[in-house]
Amino acid sequence: MHIIPAIDIIDGKCVRLTQGDYTQKKVYNEDPLEVAKAFADAGITRLHLVDLDGARAQHIVNYPVLERIANQTELHIDFGGGLKSDADLNIAFSSGADQITGGTVAVKQPELFLGWLEQYGAERIILGADVRNGKVAVSGWQEESQEELSPFLAHYLAAGVTYAICTEVSRDGLLQGSAVDLYAALRQEFPTLQLIASGGVTTLDEVHRLAEIGCFGVIIGKALYEGHLRLEDLVK
Protein backbone atom coordinates (compact mmCIF):
# COMPACT_ATOMS: atom_id res chain seq x y z
CA MET A 1 0.00 0.00 0.00
CA HIS A 2 1.28 3.46 -0.90
CA ILE A 3 1.65 6.11 1.80
CA ILE A 4 0.59 9.37 0.15
CA PRO A 5 1.09 12.57 2.15
CA ALA A 6 -1.15 15.49 1.25
CA ILE A 7 -0.14 19.07 0.62
CA ASP A 8 -3.06 21.48 0.38
CA ILE A 9 -2.32 24.92 -1.03
CA ILE A 10 -3.90 28.30 -0.38
CA ASP A 11 -2.09 31.47 -1.48
CA GLY A 12 0.92 29.33 -2.42
CA LYS A 13 1.30 28.09 1.18
CA CYS A 14 0.98 24.62 2.71
CA VAL A 15 -2.21 24.59 4.80
CA ARG A 16 -4.78 22.20 6.28
CA LEU A 17 -8.50 22.81 6.61
CA THR A 18 -10.91 21.04 8.95
CA GLN A 19 -13.72 19.24 7.08
CA GLY A 20 -13.05 21.41 4.04
CA ASP A 21 -13.97 24.61 5.90
CA TYR A 22 -11.95 27.52 4.54
CA THR A 23 -12.54 29.49 7.75
CA GLN A 24 -10.75 26.73 9.71
CA LYS A 25 -7.36 27.11 8.04
CA LYS A 26 -3.95 26.49 9.57
CA VAL A 27 -0.73 27.35 7.72
CA TYR A 28 1.99 24.74 8.29
CA ASN A 29 4.67 26.04 5.97
CA GLU A 30 5.07 29.09 3.75
CA ASP A 31 6.84 26.94 1.15
CA PRO A 32 5.17 23.68 0.00
CA LEU A 33 8.38 22.71 -1.86
CA GLU A 34 10.21 22.50 1.47
CA VAL A 35 7.52 20.11 2.75
CA ALA A 36 7.59 18.01 -0.43
CA LYS A 37 11.40 17.70 -0.24
CA ALA A 38 11.15 16.53 3.38
CA PHE A 39 8.67 13.85 2.29
CA ALA A 40 10.95 12.72 -0.54
CA ASP A 41 14.03 12.71 1.70
CA ALA A 42 12.20 10.41 4.13
CA GLY A 43 11.61 7.85 1.38
CA ILE A 44 8.08 8.81 0.36
CA THR A 45 7.44 8.35 -3.37
CA ARG A 46 3.96 9.79 -3.91
CA LEU A 47 2.26 13.11 -3.18
CA HIS A 48 -1.36 14.24 -3.19
CA LEU A 49 -1.30 17.95 -4.08
CA VAL A 50 -4.54 19.92 -3.77
CA ASP A 51 -5.14 23.42 -5.13
CA LEU A 52 -7.71 24.73 -2.64
CA ASP A 53 -7.73 28.16 -4.30
CA GLY A 54 -8.50 26.34 -7.54
CA ALA A 55 -11.33 24.34 -5.94
CA ARG A 56 -12.93 27.59 -4.82
CA ALA A 57 -12.23 29.51 -8.05
CA GLN A 58 -13.37 26.60 -10.28
CA HIS A 59 -10.16 26.69 -12.32
CA ILE A 60 -6.51 25.83 -11.72
CA VAL A 61 -4.65 28.49 -9.70
CA ASN A 62 -1.57 27.12 -7.92
CA TYR A 63 0.13 25.40 -10.87
CA PRO A 64 3.44 27.24 -10.22
CA VAL A 65 3.70 25.31 -6.93
CA LEU A 66 3.05 22.06 -8.80
CA GLU A 67 5.74 22.97 -11.32
CA ARG A 68 8.34 23.70 -8.62
CA ILE A 69 7.68 20.44 -6.78
CA ALA A 70 7.65 18.39 -10.00
CA ASN A 71 10.91 19.96 -11.19
CA GLN A 72 12.76 19.68 -7.89
CA THR A 73 11.66 16.28 -6.55
CA GLU A 74 11.13 12.77 -7.95
CA LEU A 75 7.70 12.49 -6.31
CA HIS A 76 4.84 10.95 -8.27
CA ILE A 77 2.26 13.74 -7.99
CA ASP A 78 -1.48 13.48 -8.25
CA PHE A 79 -2.98 16.94 -8.51
CA GLY A 80 -6.54 18.07 -7.86
CA GLY A 81 -8.64 21.09 -7.08
CA GLY A 82 -10.47 23.23 -9.62
CA LEU A 83 -9.79 21.16 -12.72
CA LYS A 84 -12.87 22.00 -14.79
CA SER A 85 -11.72 22.25 -18.40
CA ASP A 86 -9.38 20.80 -21.00
CA ALA A 87 -7.22 23.91 -20.55
CA ASP A 88 -6.93 23.23 -16.79
CA LEU A 89 -5.87 19.67 -17.49
CA ASN A 90 -3.28 20.75 -20.06
CA ILE A 91 -1.79 23.17 -17.52
CA ALA A 92 -1.70 20.50 -14.79
CA PHE A 93 0.02 17.90 -16.96
CA SER A 94 2.42 20.37 -18.57
CA SER A 95 3.30 21.62 -15.05
CA GLY A 96 4.39 18.10 -14.08
CA ALA A 97 1.39 16.25 -12.65
CA ASP A 98 1.64 12.48 -13.14
CA GLN A 99 -2.06 12.03 -12.42
CA ILE A 100 -5.00 14.36 -11.86
CA THR A 101 -8.03 13.89 -9.64
CA GLY A 102 -11.45 14.95 -10.92
CA GLY A 103 -14.36 14.97 -8.50
CA THR A 104 -16.81 17.80 -9.08
CA VAL A 105 -16.35 17.53 -12.85
CA ALA A 106 -17.23 13.81 -12.72
CA VAL A 107 -20.54 14.73 -11.07
CA LYS A 108 -21.42 17.91 -12.95
CA GLN A 109 -19.75 17.35 -16.34
CA PRO A 110 -19.56 13.57 -16.78
CA GLU A 111 -19.02 13.76 -20.54
CA LEU A 112 -15.96 15.96 -20.03
CA PHE A 113 -14.55 13.59 -17.40
CA LEU A 114 -15.13 10.57 -19.66
CA GLY A 115 -13.39 12.47 -22.46
CA TRP A 116 -10.34 12.93 -20.23
CA LEU A 117 -10.40 9.23 -19.40
CA GLU A 118 -10.41 8.38 -23.09
CA GLN A 119 -7.76 10.94 -24.03
CA TYR A 120 -5.26 10.40 -21.22
CA GLY A 121 -6.03 6.84 -20.10
CA ALA A 122 -7.07 5.34 -16.78
CA GLU A 123 -3.52 5.45 -15.40
CA ARG A 124 -3.54 9.25 -15.38
CA ILE A 125 -7.10 10.08 -14.34
CA ILE A 126 -8.23 9.47 -10.74
CA LEU A 127 -11.90 9.66 -9.81
CA GLY A 128 -12.50 11.86 -6.78
CA ALA A 129 -15.34 10.32 -4.79
CA ASP A 130 -15.58 12.43 -1.66
CA VAL A 131 -18.50 11.40 0.49
CA ARG A 132 -20.68 12.98 3.16
CA ASN A 133 -23.80 11.25 4.50
CA GLY A 134 -23.48 8.60 1.78
CA LYS A 135 -23.65 11.23 -1.00
CA VAL A 136 -20.82 12.51 -3.18
CA ALA A 137 -19.63 15.97 -2.05
CA VAL A 138 -18.48 18.50 -4.66
CA SER A 139 -17.11 22.02 -5.12
CA GLY A 140 -14.41 21.74 -2.46
CA TRP A 141 -16.98 19.93 -0.25
CA GLN A 142 -19.13 23.04 -0.11
CA GLU A 143 -21.98 21.17 -1.84
CA GLU A 144 -23.57 17.76 -1.45
CA SER A 145 -24.75 16.19 -4.71
CA GLN A 146 -27.61 13.72 -5.07
CA GLU A 147 -25.17 11.03 -6.24
CA GLU A 148 -25.06 7.96 -4.00
CA LEU A 149 -21.47 6.72 -3.57
CA SER A 150 -21.81 3.07 -4.69
CA PRO A 151 -23.73 3.68 -7.95
CA PHE A 152 -21.39 6.59 -8.70
CA LEU A 153 -18.33 4.35 -8.36
CA ALA A 154 -19.99 1.48 -10.26
CA HIS A 155 -20.84 3.78 -13.18
CA TYR A 156 -17.30 5.05 -13.58
CA LEU A 157 -15.69 1.68 -12.99
CA ALA A 158 -17.78 0.35 -15.88
CA ALA A 159 -16.58 3.34 -17.94
CA GLY A 160 -12.94 2.41 -17.40
CA VAL A 161 -11.85 4.16 -14.21
CA THR A 162 -9.08 2.30 -12.37
CA TYR A 163 -8.24 4.65 -9.47
CA ALA A 164 -10.52 6.43 -7.01
CA ILE A 165 -9.79 8.59 -3.99
CA CYS A 166 -12.55 8.36 -1.43
CA THR A 167 -12.50 10.95 1.34
CA GLU A 168 -14.94 10.74 4.23
CA VAL A 169 -15.52 14.47 4.58
CA SER A 170 -17.04 14.28 8.07
CA ARG A 171 -13.79 12.81 9.40
CA ASP A 172 -11.30 14.93 7.49
CA GLY A 173 -8.94 16.99 9.62
CA LEU A 174 -10.46 15.92 12.95
CA LEU A 175 -7.78 13.36 13.92
CA GLN A 176 -10.53 11.03 15.13
CA GLY A 177 -9.90 8.08 12.86
CA SER A 178 -10.79 7.08 9.32
CA ALA A 179 -13.84 5.30 7.92
CA VAL A 180 -12.15 1.88 7.76
CA ASP A 181 -15.51 0.05 7.62
CA LEU A 182 -16.56 2.12 4.60
CA TYR A 183 -13.34 1.27 2.75
CA ALA A 184 -13.66 -2.41 3.66
CA ALA A 185 -17.18 -2.44 2.20
CA LEU A 186 -16.01 -0.66 -0.96
CA ARG A 187 -13.12 -3.11 -1.39
CA GLN A 188 -15.59 -5.98 -1.12
CA GLU A 189 -18.04 -4.40 -3.57
CA PHE A 190 -15.40 -3.22 -6.06
CA PRO A 191 -12.40 -5.59 -5.75
CA THR A 192 -10.76 -4.39 -9.00
CA LEU A 193 -10.86 -0.71 -8.02
CA GLN A 194 -7.52 0.79 -6.92
CA LEU A 195 -8.99 2.49 -3.86
CA ILE A 196 -7.16 5.31 -2.11
CA ALA A 197 -8.47 6.03 1.39
CA SER A 198 -8.45 9.55 2.75
CA GLY A 199 -9.81 11.51 5.69
CA GLY A 200 -9.08 11.31 9.40
CA VAL A 201 -6.25 8.75 9.33
CA THR A 202 -4.55 9.19 12.70
CA THR A 203 -2.85 5.99 13.90
CA LEU A 204 -0.46 3.34 12.60
CA ASP A 205 -3.09 0.72 13.48
CA GLU A 206 -5.51 2.31 11.00
CA VAL A 207 -2.80 2.36 8.34
CA HIS A 208 -2.20 -1.38 8.89
CA ARG A 209 -5.94 -2.10 8.72
CA LEU A 210 -6.28 -0.18 5.46
CA ALA A 211 -3.35 -2.18 4.05
CA GLU A 212 -4.95 -5.44 5.19
CA ILE A 213 -8.23 -4.72 3.39
CA GLY A 214 -6.27 -4.07 0.21
CA CYS A 215 -6.36 -0.30 -0.31
CA PHE A 216 -4.01 0.85 -3.07
CA GLY A 217 -2.97 3.85 -1.00
CA VAL A 218 -3.77 6.02 1.99
CA ILE A 219 -3.64 9.82 1.99
CA ILE A 220 -2.41 11.32 5.25
CA GLY A 221 -2.52 15.02 6.08
CA LYS A 222 -3.07 16.59 9.46
CA ALA A 223 -1.83 13.54 11.43
CA LEU A 224 1.60 14.07 9.85
CA TYR A 225 1.67 17.82 10.35
CA GLU A 226 0.51 17.56 13.97
CA GLY A 227 2.98 14.77 14.80
CA HIS A 228 0.48 11.94 15.41
CA LEU A 229 2.20 9.89 12.70
CA ARG A 230 5.89 9.95 11.82
CA LEU A 231 7.23 9.61 8.29
CA GLU A 232 9.87 7.09 9.32
CA ASP A 233 7.25 4.79 10.86
CA LEU A 234 5.03 5.06 7.77
CA VAL A 235 7.88 4.36 5.36
CA LYS A 236 8.75 1.19 7.34
How far apart CA 137 and CA 131 sit, in angstroms, is 5
How far apart CA 136 and CA 56 sit, in angstroms, is 17
Q: Where are the alpha helices (DSSP H) in the chain?
A: 32-41, 52-57, 63-72, 86-94, 104-108, 110-120, 149-158, 180-189, 204-212, 222-225, 231-235
How far apart CA 165 and CA 141 sit, in angstroms, is 14
How many other β-carbons are positioned within 10 Å of the β-carbon of residue 132? 20
How far apart CA 164 and CA 24 sit, in angstroms, is 26
130 is catalytic: yes
Which of these is catalytic: 53, 78, 130, 172? Answer: 130
How far apart CA 83 and CA 88 sit, in angstroms, is 5
Quickly count helices (H) and strands (E) in the chain. Answer: 11, 13
Q: How far is CA 49 from CA 170, 208, 209, in A?
A: 20, 23, 24
Which of these is catalytic: 8, 51, 78, 88? Answer: 8
Catalytic annotation, residues: 8, 130
